[in-house]
Amino acid sequence: MVIESPDPTANTLLDLIAGHRVTAVIYVSAKLGIADLLVERPRTATELAQLTDTHERSLLRLMRTLVTLGIFKEGAEGRFELTEMGIRLAGKSERSLKAWVLVEGELLRAGWGQLIESIRTGKTADELAGFGSERFEKLAEMKDAGLFNEGMVSMTRAALPALLAACDFAGVSTLLDVGGGLGELMSAILTMYPSMRGIVYDLPHCAEGARMNLSAAGAAERAEFIAGSFFESVPAAADAIILKNIIHDWNDERCLQILRNCHRALRPGARLTAIDRIVPEKLEPKADHLSAMLSDLNMLRGAGGCERTESEHRELLGKSGFRTTRVVPAGRYSLIEATVT
């Protein structure tokens, strides 16, 4: 009998295959509010089981799994406490990603189960379910609309430090955030630029949340919300436009609609900044590359868009009447700046 040398690729592949289990473990922790309980003080599995109405031995096994993921750590006398990463699962943390964990676990996971049908047909999960393609217009009617919006806000907050460090809106008097959702990005930008005015432009169901966030940031007097669809028009009310996570949602045809409407709303020489992921021209087995491509498949599964390379972004902007002036990395995102030609 020939004994082969250990092959690490088998274990690596098996770990990747079991990735859905990791998602489930983190989701259950967030759903039970474990991190929220540990913010107060370290607790034993016995205490946590009583507070969450769960089976003590089973919860202990969950907690120890989360220790191996670096989310919690087990201290003296079996008391569990938060790590820096675990703090992000606490709902009241300013850096919380709890809402996005719930989005992944309750909204996205089921759709990803239909990925093979999207690959076979090119259709989104909504199209396969017979809901059509106008998912954002119908978002207000979804029972989970509030959770989805909270998740998007949490994702924006997580990206803000890198985005704000990379952006430069000096000299901009009025900034228009096209598809600005609940105004989280605009609130942060207005805080950074106290003399700037801001406009959040999005569908009507975002109005109340956007106004609340802008007011909470102390920017209500310098900001307004305008309701409308960027497929129909964009308000000609600003000297610069920003779009975050908009271009990746849509196919090329619909992106051109959006960008051309933005072009019509700006004077010659005015600036547009698109914030999106950029897919490397040559992909490698790296964490950032994997993140970009998983997001790309999420767009296929979701609204039917895609993540694009830098050259693809430049081409879309060029066809819409813009000249790309620079591309600035900002964490896993990039700021793609362009001017009206």
Catalytic residue among 55, 205, 248, 313: 248
Q: How far is CA 243 from CA 33, 100, 311, 334, in A?
A: 33, 21, 18, 12
CB 341 within 8 A of CB 334: no
Give the tokens for residue 104. Answer: 């992944």
Is residue 155 classed as helix, strand or coil in its secondary structure? helix
Q: Report the chain's C-alpha Rg in angstroms.
A: 22
Q: How far is CA 314 from CA 127, 276, 318, 325, 340, in A?
A: 29, 13, 6, 9, 13
Helix (H) or strand (E) holding 73: strand 72-74
| Amino acid letter for position 91 | G
What sections of the chain are H helices per DSSP?
8-17, 19-32, 34-40, 45-52, 56-68, 84-87, 98-103, 109-112, 115-121, 125-128, 145-166, 184-192, 207-216, 252-265, 287-301, 310-319
Instruction: Judge whether 248 counts as a catalytic residue.
Output: yes
CB 89 within 8 A of CB 266: no
CB 89 within 8 A of CB 265: no
Q: How far is CA 99 from CA 144, 155, 249, 250, in A?
A: 11, 9, 20, 24
CB 105 within 8 A of CB 24: yes
| Amino acid letter for position 328 | V
How far is C-alpha 168 from the chain's CA centre? 22
Q: Interior CA angle at 321 toward 203 and 134, to 5°?
A: 25
Whole-number Å distance between alpha carbons of 36 and 247: 35
Cα dihedral 309, 126, 244, 165, rounded to 10, equals -80
Provide the annotated active-site residues.
Answer: 248
